[in-house]
Amino acid sequence: GLTGNKGWGPHWRDATPKPEYDAIIIGGGGHGLSTAYYLAKEHGMRNIAVLEKGYLGGGNVGRNTTIVRANYFLDGNSQFYSHSLKLWEGLEQDLNYNAMLSQRGVIMLGHSDGQMDNLARRGNSIRGQGDDAELLGKAEIRALLPYLNADNTRFPVYGGLLHRRGGTARHDAVAWGYARGASDRGVDLIQQCEVTGIDIENGRVTGVQTTRGAIKAKKVGIVTAGRSGQVAAMAGMRLPIESHVLQAFVSEGLKPCIDHVISFGMGHFYISQSDKGGLVFGGDLDFYASYAARGNLPMAEHVMEAGMTLIPMIGKARVLRSWGGIMDMTPDGSPIIDKTGTEGLFINCGWCYGGFKAVPGSGYSFAHLMATGQHHAPAANYRLDRFRTGVNLMDEEGTGAQHN
């Protein structure tokens, strides 16, 4: 540690697989780790393993742009993200871990009368749900964000919607905090253990095949984000999911200059500043199905152009790094937390580009479903069969990427 603390031990036990568990979680990302934590904490299940093919937190949970918010519009989404944000607000105390939650405010910009009407409607829905939203006019946006090129002729800024309780959190710390909390409660966290098959007998799951041998389990939860389609196929399922790459970028460290999370939907661009000083920003998907965890230059150029359009001053900063992650995109932009046609097999996926903010709520609701067999109320709309029946589709994809 920076203070010369040499006695710090590992934060969790690096367990070896036992022959059998009551429940197995496939995937050691944010959602898998939070599911294991809440299974242990809320439901007293201790004989659980999280199986991760790489290392814990090496997937999207460590690759995202860390935005946390509860400003969704649609019934179903709005209750779920409201619950998740409340869990975020108590998370550091609950885990006794500094997740660096920074409720600095998220601002969605509006660039026309029509968009301002839409933001007002969204704000009313958010407030109706019990969360916070403030509609700001152009003068108020100018006062808060004086560096914006608000008179840009292509996308003049008319105003915005401020969600003060939104902000950012340190993504790695969230994974590590949940991992430590789960491990302390007896959960086995098993890294370098890829699931290669799902064992099913008479319509019931009995365990999994892995690169470290077969492991039996009464319940199995698939929580593999961008790889959900591949893992579900091991149980004979074809998911309504496409995997796409989403890129993000970070600049060299600068003195504090951007105090909020700003989302520029018209330009497909969003930005915040990390506590280390880097400008963290991104845009939309690369728009072709892929399992690559890196993107291509045309989207990088598009994102830089949009950033310069909105905030010309950032053109002076050097970009340090860019990277990508695999997004599990559903047709309506909303996720899936459900049982499957196989008894004891559950699935949690389809978080598109917005699943970091969902980590606490998703783990809580998925643990509830796996432990009790009953859907947790805030996540009750996230059914898999909505894509077959067309009932209760929640088309809120527009809240993604640039609004991460």
List contacts with ligand FAD (CB under 6 A): 26-32, 51-54, 58-61, 63-67, 194-195, 223-227, 231, 246-248, 282, 325, 351, 353-357, 404
Contact 317, 280 (CB under 8 A): no
In 3D space, the residue among 52, 396, 31, 60 whose CA is nearest the CA of residue 243 turns out to be 60
CB of 139 to ligand FAD, least distance (A): 28
Our CB check for ligand FAD shows the closer of 116 and 160 to be 160
Our CB check for ligand FAD shows the closer of 29 and 378 to be 29
CB of 246 to ligand FAD, least distance (A): 4
Our CB check for ligand FAD shows the closer of 60 and 79 to be 60
Our CB check for ligand FAD shows the closer of 158 and 265 to be 265
Our CB check for ligand FAD shows the closer of 18 and 112 to be 18
CB of 248 to ligand FAD, least distance (A): 4
CB of 375 to ligand FAD, least distance (A): 20
Residue with CB nearest ligand FAD? 29
CB of 65 to ligand FAD, least distance (A): 4
Our CB check for ligand FAD shows the closer of 307 and 355 to be 355
CB of 120 to ligand FAD, least distance (A): 24
